[in-house]
Amino acid sequence: MSDEIPNETGVYAQSRDAYARHAVEDLHQANAQAQLLGALAVKHGSAIAEKTRTAWSGLADEWAGIAAGFAAPFAANSLLPYWKDAAQRWVLTLDTLCRRGDACAAREAEGFTPVLAFDYEIIVDGRLLERPANYALVRIIPPEGAPPPRNDRRPWVIIDPRAGQGSGIGGFKSESEVGEALNDGHPVYFVIFFRDPEPHQTLADVCAAEAAFLKAVRERHPKSSKPLVTGNCQGGWAAMILAATHPDLMGPVVIAGTPLSYWAGKIGQNPFRYLAGMEGGAVPALLTADLGAGKFDGATLIHNFEQLNPGKTVWRKNYDIFSKVDWDSERYLDFERWWSGFYFMNAAEIRWIVETLFVGNKLVRGEAVLDDGTPVDLTRIDSPIVVFASHGDNITPPQQALFWIADLYESVQEVRARGHVIVYTLHDSIGHLGIFVSAKVASKQHKEITSVVQTIESLAPGLYEMLIHEGDGVPTVSFETRTIDDILAIGGDRKEEAAFAAVARLSDWAVKTYELTVQPLLRALVTPEVAETLREAHPMRAQYKLFSSANPLLGGIYPLAEATREARDPAEEDNPFLRLERLTATAIEESFNLARDMRDACMEIAFLGLYATPWMMRLGATYQARPQEHNIRKLPQVRDAIQNAEAGGYKEAIVRMLILLARARGSVRRDRLERTNRLLHSRAPFDTMTPERRARLINEQNMIVEFAADGAVSSLPVLLRDDVDRVRAVNLVFDIVGPAEEMDDRTIAMFKQLQSTLYTMARGWKERAPGRSNGAAPGMRIGA
């Protein structure tokens, strides 16, 4: 008995210590939360005050410049021309809105066909597959004047976002992803989708259909490399899931404006990510689907998007029609062809998206499973990945587009050990839609991405940032090596992600409660007819019907608008009333912006006030997962590569030397990459290799350089035993990385070490004068 007492006392002491430790931790968290909320309140208050002061002082200055124009009698002479101009613009604006509404009704009647600016033919109709899905694969027919598809160009498949609107935004203009791919000689295919999902359709069915599309593309191009797949926005995560579940079908993957790490962001800058926590997790999506009798209305997603920046989408966009109706209405109507088409998802589809991605963030935590039981592990993607994001994107900020890399990989060494190539490029300012529809972006970023994918599979495994250097003539492209820390340095305190994990936990409980209480009642009450009535009453749809020929008040607008155009008499640009109108419009927009900023600030403070409490953070910490630490050197592929450091011959030595030189430089220039790519495809013994064998060779040599650096150089004489092979190899490598004038000091030092190790000097080698500056562009990276 006496022996048990100390044991019980010890247990009580341990419990007491644990309670005390937790209390101290909670106290620190509560203090950190209080400091965070206080700092946020000051930061938001100061920022809003400064923005408001700047905006309204600018408006005041502009008013001071306008006021003089209202002096009599000039103002009286200006009033009548302004009223006439404004009345005519009102008529033409109503005409434009009516044409928009009628066009929307006509497109809805014909089933909302894709808004592609190119002719196409359906290759595979997903509705006719064994597992039907409302998707189809179409082949883009090159327009007149475009170059014919080339046999040496891999097929290019583009997947558009199914996020409320219809398909076609990736080929909405001739200057687009589709246009750039066609101009470069690629056979181009587009994955379109229809308005209504198939009965009982799930995202597993969609993934199976997209896999069938890729198989069809490969069958049509048996001699080409695996198809390159581009995914826009939500089409990007669909492409990543496809690459993870069907890695044998995919070539390089390009994802543009694609969110993958949904909890990531920067405090004070990315309020959209707080929405789920403030609205009840996944419950609103399930409620919307149940009110639609099992169909989720895409108009809801578009409405949320418009509320993100109401000053622009609610006010400025509509005022611009009125202000620029003489010359901008056709552009507006062209864009509305896509914006006004609302598509549907099945309840199972939107539930998987919200619970697995938006709220649960399971894709980057390795917990995503498709409806048919297929696990989705992004680390299984063998194909090179190119990520295009923008600092100006308020839908998919760079953190959400890139932090998945830090979620999946412990270090860049793990990226290399797994043989993965990840390239990202960042735009400074373009917005979310601009990534897909901007002609300027298409002519620069998409054009360069198009040119780079020809050779990207020759990059050694690793993490790179693609930089586009503007200069005289053709822009130069380089690939700078990056680390996981470089990704995280983009910004964003990841500590608060535990609060999002708490939202995910609470969402699970809220969904179960909803399923037991409200959902059975709604499913009994909401018939298809009731759902259709609710859909027609949605404000996004109602506005198009209000301004259309269906409204008897607008029955005579077309002939009136025609007569107005013939009698058009615009006011002079210096008319004070016209200037006052524009000033007022800007003031209204600034008022919307002020309300938006205050809403966003309140939402962020409320979210962190609710979910950054000690209890919530502890709840979230049990749900939040970080990459497990492990010894990368013990991975089987790494062990095998190190053991085979002295195995091989001529081809292994060349690839290894190129990688060593690239590592010394720390970057890759596109022209060097293209030279290496030509070597790996046209020179013996590389020209007879399959793409898979070539990629494996590069990966193996890259791991030897990464994990056996000293042995990587010292074992070269073993690979090149023959003096003739040594001379051939050194000369060939120098042809790619030289001349010496374009090599920096580190590259020269490495090349001298290689020559010394092999007792061979390259043909034409001339050492640069000591201390001479090398202003050449970045050197090569393997070309590898």
Residue spans of the domains in the chain: they are 40-110+284-345+500-630, 120-263+361-492, 632-758
CATH match for 120-263+361-492 among 3.10.180.10, 3.40.50.1820, 3.40.50.360, 3.40.50.410: 3.40.50.1820
**C-alpha R_g of the chain:** 30
8 A C-beta contact, residue 713 and residue 660: yes
pTM: 0.88
8 A C-beta contact, residue 778 and residue 667: yes
User: DSSP string of 404-442?
Assistant: HHHHH-SSHHHHHHTT-EEEEEEESS--TTHHHH-HHHI
For the chain, 784 residues long, the average pLDDT of each consecutive 10-residue run is 56 76 85 92 94 94 86 78 96 96 91 88 97 96 87 88 86 80 90 95 97 96 91 93 94 93 88 91 96 95 90 94 93 88 94 95 91 93 92 90 93 91 90 72 70 78 88 76 93 84 94 96 95 94 93 93 95 92 96 96 95 90 64 80 87 92 83 79 82 86 87 92 92 85 87 91 74 38 30
Question: Taking Cα atoms as reference points, which of 339, 152, 382, 404 lies closest to residue 245?
Answer: 382
- Three-state SS string over 25-44 comes to HHHHHHHHHHHHHHHHHHHH
Q: 303's torsion region: left (phi>0), alpha (psi -120 to 50) or beta?
A: alpha
Distance between CA atoms of residues 145 and 498, nearest Å:
55
Query: Two tokens at 69?
Result: 């124009």
CA angle 355, 358, 361 (to 5 degrees): 80
What is the pLDDT at residue 2? 47
